[in-house]
Amino acid sequence: MHEKVISIICEIKNEPDLAGRLTASSDVLNDAGLDSLQLINFILRIEDEFGIEIDFDQFDMEHLQSIERFCEFIQAQHV
């Protein structure tokens, strides 16, 4: 799942080389450098890719502190 999330980030950033610098511990906003519009596109792509609808009552910006933490949040949305 981490690799898919990183791939989506690279696609949205239009920076394929970014994949080599991102890891599970990378911060989605600071390390990946997503701006607000890119973040919206990222969330929409994640929802499409994983067939989920992110519940923003449960979503917190803390979930973006690492790709690992974001993946855990996505997995919890499948329950």
Query: 39 phi and psi, to 5 degrees?
Result: -65, -40
Q: Give pLDDT tens digits for 9-37.
A: 999 999 999 999 999 999 999 999 999 99
Q: Give pLDDT tens digits for 54-70.
A: 888 888 889 999 999 99
pLDDT at 8: 96
pLDDT at 79: 60
CB 9 within 8 Å of CB 33: no
pTM, two decimals, is: 0.85
The rounded distance, in Å, linking the Cα atoms of 55 and 50 is: 14
Mean predicted lDDT score pLDDT of the chain: 91
pLDDT at 77: 80
Helix locations, the chain, DSSP H: 2-13, 36-50, 67-77
